[in-house]
Amino acid sequence: MRIDVLTLFPEMFEGVLNASILGRAADKGRVTYRLVNYRDYAENKHRTVDDTPYGGGGGMVLKPEPIFRAVEALPREEGARPPRIILMCPQGETFTQRKAEELAGEDHLVFICGHYEGYDERIRQYLVTDEISIGDYVLTGGELPAMVVIDAVVRLVPGVLGNEQSPVTDSFSTGLLEHPHYTRPADFRGMKVPDVLLSGHHEQIDMWRRKESLRRTWLRRPDLLDLRKDLTAEEREWLAAWQREAAEDERS
Ligand code: 4G1
């Protein structure tokens, strides 16, 4: 997979793309990263990339020319499918694991990151194929969001994770949060590991984990349970019991 990033701050990406699994993915030849400073595609000698908004008002707007020219100058791999051109912006579709899986199947991703300000609307309308947001908060730029998306996508590219790690396709594959984890010592300063995990009784351990996973999801992310229509009868029983307990606690 080829990943191109258009940014005014390419140096922000150096550490992230070269370290750990993202760096190893490049070393293994599974992905190729290219960083492009779209200021290099500005048209005047001051290398201007932004301007005041038509109609007045405050703030600055990223001009279309540098971004269109930077995208048009990107090399295309022979025989590759056309790139997904992704605008990182607060108005985009909220990024999810499902979107990461979708993008992991592509040949070529192009990320466009703004900084401080908004984009000329024609970039959205005539250049980009996808608009993505990582969530609702104010940031100084789209660089950190692009790194989040790249991280989530690259680990899903075939051959990037070793086989021993791929079963950690995380709790999202089950649609539930993870159950609590423990490692040695069994008693740390009087804080004890639940007995069932030390019992060696694999059926009971399995049941405990499924139950704790469901309990956590119910307590912390009930929205995830609404998406799961395939709970077993036993799981529904547990949920109903917790709901009854919670209702009782409410009354007393
Ligand atoms: C209005 C957040 C503006 C921000 C409302 C998540 C945020 C890109 C993202 C902003 C950005 C809200 C993102 C805001 C982002 C131009 C450059 C836009 C930075 C910019 C809730 C500033 N996911 N924000 N505006 O943060 O790029 O992808």
Q: Are the C-beta atoms of residues 103 and 151 closer than 8 Å to each other?
A: no
Active site residue 155: yes
Q: Are the C-beta atoms of residues 49 and 42 closer than 8 Å to each other?
A: yes
Range 114-140 average pLDDT: 96
Sheet with 84-94, edge to edge strand ranges = 32-37, 2-7, 108-113, 84-94, 130-133
CA distances from 42 to 15, 54, 63, 241 (A): 26, 19, 9, 63
Asked if residue 115 has its Cβ within 6 Å of ligand 1, the reply is yes
Sheet with 118-119, edge to edge strand ranges = 50-51, 61-62, 118-119
d(CA 227, CA 50): 42
Helix (H) or strand (E) holding 35: strand 32-37
Range 83-108 average pLDDT: 98
Measured in angstroms, how far is the CA atom of residue 231 from the centroid of ligand 1?
37
Measured in angstroms, how far is the CA atom of residue 2 from the centroid of ligand 1?
25
Contacts 24+ apart (CB under 8 A), 22-31: 22/150, 22/151, 22/154, 24/160, 25/154, 25/155, 25/157, 25/160, 28/159, 28/160, 30/1, 30/154, 30/157, 30/158, 30/159, 30/160, 31/1, 31/2, 31/3, 31/154, 31/157, 31/160
Give per-residue pLDDT as tens, 154-209.
Answer: 999 999 998 655 545 555 667 899 999 999 999 999 999 999 999 999 999 999 99
> What is the structure's pLDDT at 167?
45
Helix (H) or strand (E) holding 92: strand 84-94
Token pair listed for 112: 């466009």
- Which residue in the list 117, 178, 212, 235 is annotated as catalytic? 117
Asked if residue 133 has its Cβ within 6 Å of ligand 1, the reply is yes
Give per-residue pLDDT as tens, 48-60.
Answer: 999 999 999 999 9
> What is the structure's pLDDT at 229?
81
d(CA 101, CA 111): 16
d(CA 87, CA 81): 19
Active site residue 117: yes
Q: Relative to the CA of 117, which ligand 1 atom is closest?
A: 16
- Which residue in the list 90, 101, 212, 215 is annotated as catalytic? 90
Helix (H) or strand (E) holding 238: helix 233-251
**Which protein residue has the closest C-alpha to ligand 1 atom 8?**
89
3-state SS, residue 3: strand
Write down the pTM of the prediction: 0.94
3-state SS, residue 241: helix
Averaged confidence pLDDT in the chain: 95
